[in-house]
Amino acid sequence: MFDSFPEGVSTRLDRPRYHEEYYRALESGIRHLNKLERGQNFKERGFASWEAFAAGQWDTSLSLIEERRDAYVQQVEEAERAGMLQRRLRVVEFPVTPYVQWELHVLRLRVEVGDRIRLLDARTIADIEKHRPVPEVVILGDVVMFEVRYDDDGNAAGANRFTDRALIEETSAGFDALYEQAEEYGDFFAREIAPLPAPTVSL
């Protein structure tokens, strides 16, 4: 289901155009949005909490996460008003990378305000990652799907856009299966993330 996407059926978008088309689709009346995150090291420049994390200021980075609460509440409320179901699935490798450790603290806030997020141990999907990791993918209804791209340094670099309905349906079914297999956020976080010491960051 996620082994590979067919070649020649996508359109490569740079970052500004990806954002433009993403928000256009988001506002088109879709009823569900599914996001699968697989990478273990990204850069989120401009996010004050990430900047503090990258500077090795762990306690400060955690305190700054709260600044996003109102924005996250607004996003959840807007989705609810639109009748849109949003789900996020985060794959986690072990040992947990410093970035993922930080990100899961951010996602904990999202869960607190109503986001539907589950976590998946990468070791449990080794059978479907024999040839490549599952992709970073965002599925917006049955209208469009984006395979999000990053450069070698972990910076967002646009996306590949897919509009083939059969491919979107197949990928959505794969997402549903993995989401069902994944663990509830609170249990995973309490067991695997909360006990970790502050990470050592080297960027």
pTM assigned to the model = 0.94
Rg over alpha carbons for the chain, rounded to the nearest Å, is: 17
What's the token pair of residue 106? 């951010």
H/E run at residue 150: strand 144-150
Q: In what order do the strands lie in the sheet with 183-184?
A: 10-13, 156-162, 144-150, 137-140, 32-37, 85-92, 116-121, 183-184
One pLDDT digit (tens) per residue for the chain, 203 residues: 566 677 778 999 999 999 999 999 999 999 999 999 999 999 999 999 999 999 999 999 999 999 999 999 999 999 999 999 999 999 999 999 999 999 999 999 999 999 999 999 999 999 999 989 999 999 999 999 999 999 888 888 999 999 999 999 999 999 999 999 999 999 999 999 999 999 998 76
